[in-house]
Amino acid sequence: MREMNARRWERTLAVREVERQAVKTASASWVGALSDRELELIAVTAYWCEGAKDKAYARREKVRFINSDPGIVLLFLEFLRRRGFNWPDLYMALSIHESADIPAAERWWAETVGADVSDFAKPTIKRHRPRTNRKNTGQEYVGCFYVAVRGSRTLYQQIEGIWRGIATGFESGAGGPLVRQTGDVRRHV
């Protein structure tokens, strides 16, 4: 009985995986080639999610970005390239746990972004905790890619300005931000 349930469950999982991949493939093909403007809007949004922000109490108008997803990193590097920044303008390094294979991770990231390992600064090493809740461990773990842009005060100001435009631009669309109704009270989500 248990074996029969396991086989049935295996088939169900296989069907779900086919469906999952079909949805992802269709969604990816829907995107098509990105215009310069679309790439810029997406890169600015990614930066606002993952990049360093200026604070009124601590002025730091410098572009600094970190992420572990190679697609996001490549998107942001392409944005910088289209803005006229080149490898010498970038300070690149890894942020990685000490238990990882750091030289292998540096080679992987260098190959991924099209740089040379010698272009990277010394990595930031995170202390390893033997009893971790992290799931991204083992040989596949390559840490996070960090990039800071030299002389980027104006670029940072432009990114913040574009983000302000994005954040307010949708409000004039289909009725403004989402609203949740709870009893007689309407709250912005």
Q: For 15-59, write each residue's pLDDT tens digit.
A: 999 999 999 999 999 999 999 999 999 999 999 999 999 998 988
115-161 confidence digits (pLDDT tens): 999 999 999 998 876 666 655 556 688 999 999 999 999 999 999 99
| Closest CA relative to residue 43, chosen from 34, 54, 32, 56 | 34
pTM: 0.80
Separation in Å, CA 26 to CA 13, 17, 19, 32, 156: 20, 14, 11, 11, 35
Domain ranges (residues) in the chain: 35-169
Scored b (16 or more CB within 10 A) or e, 60-87 reads eebbbbbbbeeebbebbbebbeebebee
| Closest CA relative to residue 158, chosen from 74, 47, 55, 66 | 47
Contacts made by residues 104-112, CB under 8 angstroms, sequence distance 24+: 104/139, 104/142, 105/141, 105/142, 105/143, 108/142, 109/142, 109/143, 109/145, 112/70, 112/73, 112/74
